[in-house]
Amino acid sequence: MKIRTVLIAALAAFGLGAPVAAGEEGHVKDFSFSFEGPFGVYDRAQLRRGLQVYLEVCSACHGLKYVPFRALGDPDGPALGEKAVKEIAAQYEVMDPDSGEMRPAKPSDYFPRSPNPKAPDLSLMAKARAGFHGPMGLGINQIVYGMGGPEYIASLLTGFTGEEKEEAGQTFYENRTFPIGWIAMPPVLSGEDVEYADGTKATAEQEAQDVAAFLMWAAEPKMMARKRMGFVGVVYLVLLASLLYLTNKTLWAAVKRRREKAAAES
């Protein structure tokens, strides 16, 4: 009973000391993504669909300045062929560092910056945004659900209510997920915005999840490699701990027998 009381008091004290943003956080839906969890992996088909949504819808305003075109061919990512990567890169123009003139981009170049200076770059958006908070600043939701960056993006894209208002000559749109409730970005997904190459039905929620997954890969392209290395590291540590345990038992077995013999004789 005393331990329970101490734990409750500690949690309460931590909650009072942590910053609370009650009433300011928007609603974030817990979508199920294939890459969640210690053994989760990217869904290659979903990444390709998300790339299509980005190219046909999002790239009009948002850039991916930290993502090289060649990364689209990574086997842990969209895994596009060399020809497809070159075709996508050629859709953009970049400044040639040698001549100072514009030229079609190559696979070695990076996606351009945001064409709209007011629109944020999306390269690290899935890591920059935390989707789940609380309760009361304890971080319990982060432990249960994870940080939720992709969930935040998908919820934001599907969180528009249809209400609008104008302030200082600018139109704002009500959004259930955006922290303050109103956002300057208009609704961009309505369903059937793209025609998926794999035949998947392009609903607004499907498009939102696909582009959110793609942006998670853009922010964490080496996540699957890290998970594999982490698994190997855990297996190695388990084996090492087992060997050390067996070695310890072998080294001290003789001492233990002598002590048992001495105890029996006495």
Place of tokens 């331990």: 3
Q: How many whole angstroms separate alpha carbon 250 and alpha carbon 252?
A: 6
Q: Band the pLDDT of 89: cuts 50, 70, 90.
A: very high
Record the tokens describing residue 237, joined without a space. Answer: 């540590």
Domain boundaries defined on the chain:
226-266
Q: How far is CA 14 from the centre of its chain?
A: 27
Residue type, position 176, single letter = R
Q: How many C-alpha atoms does 75 have within 13 Å on its Cβ side? A: 1
CA-nearest of 207, 62, 75 to 124 is: 62
How confident is the model at residue 24, as a pLDDT?
Answer: 56
Q: How many whole angstroms separate alpha carbon 222 and alpha carbon 196?
A: 26
Q: Is the dihedral of CA 64, 66, 72, 74 positive or negative?
A: negative
Q: What percent of the chain has pLDDT over 70?
A: 88
How confident is the model at residue 137, as a pLDDT?
Answer: 58
List pLDDT tens digits, range 23-76: 456 889 999 999 998 889 999 999 999 999 999 999 999 999 999 999 999 999
pLDDT of 170 over the 70 cut: yes
CA-nearest of 240, 176, 212 to 53 is: 212
